[in-house]
């Protein structure tokens, strides 16, 4: 029986980790438990941040918000919505894909460096995160960054901790910069383009000054290539007209507006168009955009993978059924050819225990990572092995 630790203060958290380090007892770190990703952690105890909640700072006029790590993302998004603001990086909700039921927390968003379709324009969590407090594997709580927009004081642990999946420390509080919500959004949908043409259309669009905030391609009998525009209504109309002109060789495009457009991108954000079967292994593959179609074609030819593209081709979501290794051998050898990296996002525990879900790194990089991890968590008690 796994016991769940629910510290409600940094002091309590420090005591738990200090004791765990002293007795070399690993702990699995959870936020809301909605992102069961990575190698399963072998630990007798689970530590959840769910008792450390609450927005600690919100200054709408300064576009900044701080919250304790266990604060539900939904609570923060509702608060921002009241002030017509948002987290610009559009964090994915993994629950539909992974079939999990927990409540995503802002700490989990940060520890997984979550992002979404707006990654191409606004970056990922790491690009909007400006401050953290974190309790390391030494049982010490440190800070990095702060609440101001520009800060180069000391090493940038803000970036290092974003996407560290609880392997360096337990985040206790995070501070994000915010952006105003767009007044309107519209999506142009081109139909019937093959993958290569679609990526050509998307990269062409992103090479213009017309500020595309989403570029996805959904293959199929009648494929759809989607380009999102956000901003003031008159500016959007202008940019859409210019883009239609520039992309006329790719056919006519239908315009979908506001709520309907938002629904499309929410689904894309959460990998909905993949429509992954219950037993499919799901990969998230990050490459340079023009390599997307070739990577997808190879996976389709070798393994019958189903897939779609976000980030103008730079993010390939692929669902693979059949092979015992979940397609890992093929995916990894493709990454060796194309560069980029792949994460086995969804697979049975046994498979994720047997095959590293995260992309293996070059030995020299592994050595750096190991030294950093030993420095933060010398006893190796925080989510050991989760990142492979």
Partner 1 sequence: MSAILMPKPDERVLARRDAIIAGLAALLPPEALITSEDERRAYETDALTAYRQMPLAVVLPQTTAQVAAILAFLNAEGVKVVARGAGTSLAGGALPTADAVVLGVSKMNRVLGVDIANRTIRVEAGVTNLGVSAAVQHLGFFYAPDPSSQLACTIAGNIGMNSGGAHCLKYGVTTNNVLGVKMVMIDGTIVEIGGEALDAAGLDLLGLIVGSEGQIGVVTEATLRILPLAEGARPMLMGFQSAEACGACVAAIIGSGIIPVAIEYMDRPAIRVCEAFAHAGYPLDVEALLIIEVEGSEEEIADLISRITAIAADYNPATMKVSQSEAESAAIWKGRKSAFGAMGRIADYMCMDGTIPTGQLPRVLTGIADICNGYGLEVANIFHAGDGNLHPLVLFNANKPGELEKAEAAGADILKLCVEVGGCLTGEHGVGVEKRELMVHQFNTIDLDQQMRIKTALDPQWLLNPHKVFPLEGRPV
Who's near 236: CB < 8 A, 6+ residues apart? 184, 185, 186, 229, 230
Report if residue 314 touches partner 1, rule: CB under 8 A.
yes
Smallest gap from Cβ 148 to partner 1, in A, equals 4
Smallest gap from Cβ 62 to partner 1, in A, equals 5
Smallest gap from Cβ 61 to partner 1, in A, equals 4
| Only segment of 1-9, 259-267, 345-353, 360-368 that touches partner 1 (CB under 8 A) | 360-368
| Only segment of 3-11, 23-31, 249-257, 361-369 that touches partner 1 (CB under 8 A) | 361-369
Smallest gap from Cβ 1 to partner 1, in A, equals 32
Residues 211-270 that bind partner 1 (CB under 8 A): 232, 234-235, 238, 242
Task: Give all strands of the β-sheet with 169-177 in edge-to-edge order.
Answer: 55-59, 64-68, 169-177, 129-136, 141-145
3-state secondary structure of 150: coil
Give whichever of 245 and 278 is closer to partner 1, judged by the CB atom: 245
Give whichever of 102 and 327 is closer to partner 1, judged by the CB atom: 327
The burial of 245, by beta-carbon neighbours within 10 Å (0-12 exposed, 13-18 middle, 19 or more buried), is given as exposed
Residues 32-91 that bind partner 1 (CB under 8 A): 59-64, 84
Smallest gap from Cβ 2 to partner 1, in A, equals 27
Give whichever of 152 and 249 is closer to partner 1, judged by the CB atom: 152
Tell me how far apart the alpha carbons of residues 346 and 191 are, in angstroms, rounded to a whole number.
30
Report if residue 181 touches partner 1, rule: CB under 8 A.
yes
Q: Are 328 and 295 in contact (CB under 8 A)?
A: no
Among 33, 102, 163, 384, binds partner 1 (CB under 8 A): 163
Radius of gyration, CA atoms only, the chain: 21
Tell me how far apart the alpha carbons of residues 264 and 260 are, in angstroms, rounded to a whole number.
6
Tokens 């692929």 locate to: 318
Q: Are 107 and 348 in contact (CB under 8 A)?
A: no
Tell me how far apart the alpha carbons of residues 128 and 87 are, in angstroms, rounded to a whole number.
8
| Only segment of 23-31, 72-80, 175-183, 249-257 that touches partner 1 (CB under 8 A) | 175-183
Among 34, 105, 164, 186, binds partner 1 (CB under 8 A): 164
Give whichever of 6 and 151 is closer to partner 1, judged by the CB atom: 151
Among 56, 286, 323, 385, binds partner 1 (CB under 8 A): 286
Tell me how far apart the alpha carbons of residues 98 and 61 are, in angstroms, rounded to a whole number.
37
CA distances from 304 to 216, 278, 318, 327 (A): 21, 16, 10, 10
3-state secondary structure of 71: coil
CA-nearest of 138, 140, 94 to 113 is: 94
Report if residue 294 touches partner 1, rule: CB under 8 A.
no
Tell me how far apart the alpha carbons of residues 170 and 141 are, in angstroms, rounded to a whole number.
9
Number of residues counted as binding partner 1 (CB under 8 A):
86
Report if residue 307 touches partner 1, rule: CB under 8 A.
no
CA-nearest of 39, 28, 36 to 386 is: 39
Report if residue 364 touches partner 1, rule: CB under 8 A.
yes
Smallest gap from Cβ 385 to partner 1, in A, equals 13
Give whichever of 159 and 266 is closer to partner 1, judged by the CB atom: 159
Smallest gap from Cβ 277 to partner 1, in A, equals 25
Among 105, 112, 144, 213, binds partner 1 (CB under 8 A): 144
Smallest gap from Cβ 67 to partner 1, in A, equals 16
Tell me how far apart the alpha carbons of residues 193 and 41 are, in angstroms, rounded to a whole number.
43
Give whichever of 65 and 72 is closer to partner 1, judged by the CB atom: 65
């Amino acid at each position: 029986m796994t016991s769940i630790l629910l510290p409600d203060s940094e002091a309590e958290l420090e005591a738990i980790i200090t004791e765990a380090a002293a007795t070399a007892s690993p702990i699995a770190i959870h936020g809301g438990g909605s992102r069961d990703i990575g190698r399963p952690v072998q630990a007798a105890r689970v530590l959840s941040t769910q008792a450390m909640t609450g927005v600690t700072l919100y200054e709408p006029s300064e576009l900044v918000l701080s919250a304790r790590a266990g604060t539900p993302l939904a609570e923060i998004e509702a608060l921002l919505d009241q002030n017509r603001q948002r987290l610009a990086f559009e964090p994915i909700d993994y629950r539909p894909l992974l079939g999990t039921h927990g409540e995503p927390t802002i700490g989990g968003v940060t520890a997984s460096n979550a992002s979404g379709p707006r990654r191409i324009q606004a970056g990922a969590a790491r690009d909007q995160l400006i401050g953290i407090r974190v309790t390391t594997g030494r049982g010490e709580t440190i800070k990095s960054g702060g609440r101001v927009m520009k800060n180069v004081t000391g090493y940038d642990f803000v970036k290092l901790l974003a996407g560290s999946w609880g392997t360096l420390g337990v985040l206790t509080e995070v501070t994000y910069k915010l952006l105003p919500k767009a007044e309107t959004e519209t999506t142009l949908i081109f139909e019937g383009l093959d993958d290569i043409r679609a990526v050509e259309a998307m990269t062409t669009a992103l090479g213009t000054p017309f500020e595309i905030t989403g570029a996805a391609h959904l293959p199929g009998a009648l494929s759809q290539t989607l380009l999102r525009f956000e901003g003031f209504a008159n500016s959007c109309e202008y940019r859409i007209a210019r883009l239609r002109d520039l992309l006329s060789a790719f056919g006519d495009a239908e315009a979908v507006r506001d709520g309907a457009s938002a629904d499309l991108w929410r689904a894309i954000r959460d990998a909905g168009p993949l429509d992954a079967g219950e037993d499919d292994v799901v990969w998230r593959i990050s490459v340079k955009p023009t390599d997307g179609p070739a990577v997808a074609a190879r996976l389709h030819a070798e393994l019958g993978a189903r897939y779609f593209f976000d980030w103008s081709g730079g993010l390939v979501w692929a669902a693979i059924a059949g092979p015992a290794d979940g397609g890992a051998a093929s995916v990894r050898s493709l990454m060796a050819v194309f560069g980029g990296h792949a994460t086995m996002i969804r697979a049975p525990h046994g498979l994720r225990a047997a095959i590293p879900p995260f992309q293996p790194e070059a030995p020299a990089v592994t050595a750096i990572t190991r030294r950093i991890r030993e420095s933060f968590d010398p006893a190796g008690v925080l989510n050991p092995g989760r990142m492979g």
